[in-house]
């Protein structure tokens, strides 16, 4: 048996952080806008060429509950391609594209089965006679706080049993996206759990496999690296899961060490040279982190990085050759690597309290109401989010200290 597990297509995504303005070449913006469509087209092509038995799409096909005519027509065309080759598709709607009517308005091809708001089970009989039971559900509203997995039937309903869940591991007491626990999934006795919602590809458990494929195209800098789908194959040795990259555009962070003696022109030249020498094989959207030593940064570079002039100079250099070097820079930040120090009393207080304040559990507790907004939840779901928050706070506090804005009463 062979099937594709994909999720989070996010057709019509707005691509936060990349401006559709005069600084961004028109052709680049078009390439980026088309990227999720190109990625899913490749997934469908692979499904046909690999002759998979079926495809699972676990929520958030669209970026919102309303779709452009272009996005909807595109999806229908791709599903029809699978229909022509007799490949069944089982799909669910997620928190972004939730459907109050269960998607009744969509006229999907006959090969498509859609899960409704209540947990249900679909059955397939494959060409070799293998029977497959697939259980899942769709969102009918933006937030699903109930433990929906509790409603999934026990496993062993067929030769192979799969669960589809667009949701997240339960954290604290205030989870909004079909919260579950890993032991809860394991205890159901399923052969494979196909997850969606978290955009970072990851395996939560090996036996049985509990997998997030990630989204099919990175949408901002917190979704770096290759994106695509999971190809799942079963044989006498068990279950094999292979990641296949399909995204035509990759978000990439690049760190560049600079010295206090380097002026604007030298920094720009060094950065463009680094991108050129990287020899990228596909288009990279780059956020640049300029790291300084103990001597700090040239005042001109620091000021121009803050005002955006440095970024403008870099983009001007890339305007006519970004396609040749496969790289476009959309953000430049200066990060001073020397550890921050306060006065002795403040230093002791900071070292004592920062570990208590800046940890994932505390952030989750403080921001739990904000996490109802999915873009905020996704922002803080990546591993480096809390470390970034700490660094930004240190920079802010250091600036306040340098300006002597803290008094004894503070």
**pLDDT mean over 358-386:** 61
Query: Which residues, 6+ apart, have CB-to-CB distance to 34 below 8 Å?
Result: none
Looking at 219, 245, 271, the residue that finishes a domain is 245
Give yes or no: residues 179 and 130 share one domain: yes
Give yes or no: residues 133 and 15 share one domain: yes
Give yes or no: residues 264 and 287 share one domain: yes
Q: Which residues pair with 132 in a beta bridge?
A: 124, 160
Evaluate if residue 345 carries a pLDDT over 70.
no
Q: What is the pLDDT of residues 123-134, one digit of tens each?
A: 999 999 999 999
Query: Which residues in 15-49 are b (16+ Cβ under 10 Å) and which e?
Result: beebeeeeebbeebeebbeebbbbbbbbbbebbee
Give yes or no: residues 359 and 374 share one domain: yes
**So what's the pLDDT on residue 407?**
36
By the 10 Å C-beta count (0-12 exposed, 13-18 middle, 19+ buried), 65 is classed as: middle
Give yes or no: residues 212 and 305 share one domain: no
Q: Which domain holds residue 24?
A: 2-245
Looking at 334, 357, 377, the residue that finishes a domain is 334
Domain count, the chain: 3
Give yes or no: residues 110 and 148 share one domain: yes
**Would 253 be classed as within a structural domain?**
no
**pLDDT mean over 256-283:** 94
**Would 200 be classed as within a structural domain?**
yes
Of the chain, the end-to-end C-alpha distance in Å amounts to 66
Give yes or no: residues 50 and 97 share one domain: yes
- 334 sits in the region (left: phi over 0; alpha: psi -120 to 50; else beta) called beta
Per-position DSSP letters for 255-305, written without gaps between them: EEEE-TT--HHHHHHHHHHHHHHH--SSEEEEEEEEEEBTTB--HHHHHHH
**So what's the pLDDT on residue 156?**
86
Find the angle CA(102)-CA(107)-CA(108) to the nearest 5 degrees. 90
**Would 292 be classed as within a structural domain?**
yes
Evaluate if residue 4 carries a pLDDT over 60.
yes
Rounded to whole angstroms, the Cα distance separating 7 from 199 reads 9
Give yes or no: residues 28 and 163 share one domain: yes
Say which CATH number the domain at 180 has: 3.60.21.10
Between the CA of residue 271 and those of 136, 222, 254, 261, what are the distances in Å? Answer: 48, 21, 9, 15
Check: pTM over 0.85? Answer yes or no: no
Give yes or no: residues 354 and 297 share one domain: no
Nearest to 217 by CA among 400, 43, 94: 43
**Would 61 be classed as within a structural domain?**
yes
Give yes or no: residues 193 and 322 share one domain: no
**Would 251 be classed as within a structural domain?**
no
pLDDT band at 367 (very low <50, low <70, confident <90, very high): low
**Would 252 be classed as within a structural domain?**
no
Q: What is the pLDDT of residues 9-51, one digit of tens each?
A: 999 887 766 765 667 888 898 899 999 999 999 999 999 999 9
Give yes or no: residues 210 and 269 share one domain: no
In 10 A of CB 157, how many CB atoms? 18
Q: Which residues pair with 134 in a beta bridge?
A: 122, 162
In 10 A of CB 398, how many CB atoms? 14
**Would 250 be classed as within a structural domain?**
no
The overall average pLDDT reported for the chain is 86
Looking at 284, 310, 334, the residue that finishes a domain is 334
Give yes or no: residues 348 and 215 share one domain: no
Rounded to whole angstroms, the Cα distance separating 162 from 123 reads 10
**Would 373 be classed as within a structural domain?**
yes
pLDDT band at 401 (very low <50, low <70, confident <90, very high): very low
28: helix, coil or strand?
helix
pLDDT band at 226 (very low <50, low <70, confident <90, very high): very high
Query: Which residues, 6+ apart, have CB-to-CB distance to 123 below 8 Å?
Result: 131, 132, 133, 134, 158
């Amino acid at each position: 048996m062979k099937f594709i597990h994909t999720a989070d297509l996010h057709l019509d995504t707005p691509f936060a952080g990349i401006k559709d303005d005069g600084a961004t070449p028109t052709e680049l913006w078009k390439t980026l806008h088309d990227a999720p469509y190109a990625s899913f087209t490749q997934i469908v092509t692979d499904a046909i060429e690999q002759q998979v038995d079926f495809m699972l799409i676990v929520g958030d096909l669209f970026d919102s509950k309303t779709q452009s005519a272009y996005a909807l027509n595109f999806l229908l065309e791709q599903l029809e391609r699978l229909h022509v080759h007799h490949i069944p598709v089982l799909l669910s709607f997620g928190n972004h594209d939730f459907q109050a009517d269960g998607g009744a308005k969509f006229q999907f091809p006959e090969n498509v089965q859609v899960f409704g708001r209540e947990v249900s089970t679909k059955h397939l009989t494959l060409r070799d006679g293998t029977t497959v039971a697939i259980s899942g559900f769709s969102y009918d509203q933006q937030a699903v706080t109930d433990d929906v997995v509790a409603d999934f039937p026990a496993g062993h309903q067929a030769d192979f049993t799969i669960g589809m869940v667009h949701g997240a591991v339960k954290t604290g007491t205030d989870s909004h996206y079909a919260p579950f626990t890993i032991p809860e999934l394991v205890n159901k006795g399923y052969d494979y759990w196909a997850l969606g919602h978290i955009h970072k590809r990851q395996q939560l458990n090996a036996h049985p496999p509990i997998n997030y494929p990630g989204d099919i195209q990175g949408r901002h800098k917190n979704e770096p690296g290759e994106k695509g789908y999971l190809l799942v194959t079963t044989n006498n040795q068990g279950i094999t899961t292979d990641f296949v990259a399909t995204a035509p555009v990759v978000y990439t962070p690049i760190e560049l060490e600079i010295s206090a003696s380097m002026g604007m022109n030298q920094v720009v030249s060094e950065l463009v040279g680094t991108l050129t020498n990287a020899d990228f094989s596909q288009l990279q959207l780059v956020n640049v982190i300029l790291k300084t030593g103990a001597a700090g940064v040239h005042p001109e570079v620091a000021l121009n990085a803050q005002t955006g002039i440095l970024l403008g100079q870099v983009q001007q250099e890339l305007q006519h050759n970004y396609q040749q070097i496969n790289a476009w820079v959309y953000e430049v930040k200066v990060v001073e690597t020397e550890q921050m120090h306060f006065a002795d009393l403040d230093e002791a207080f900071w070292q004592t309290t920062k570990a208590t304040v800046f940890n994932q559990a505390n952030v989750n507790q403080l921001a739990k109401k904000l996490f109802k907004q999915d873009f905020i939840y996704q922002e803080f779901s990546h591993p480096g989010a809390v470390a970034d928050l700490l660094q930004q706070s240190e920079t802010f506090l250091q600036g306040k200290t340098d300006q002597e804005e803290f008094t004894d009463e503070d």
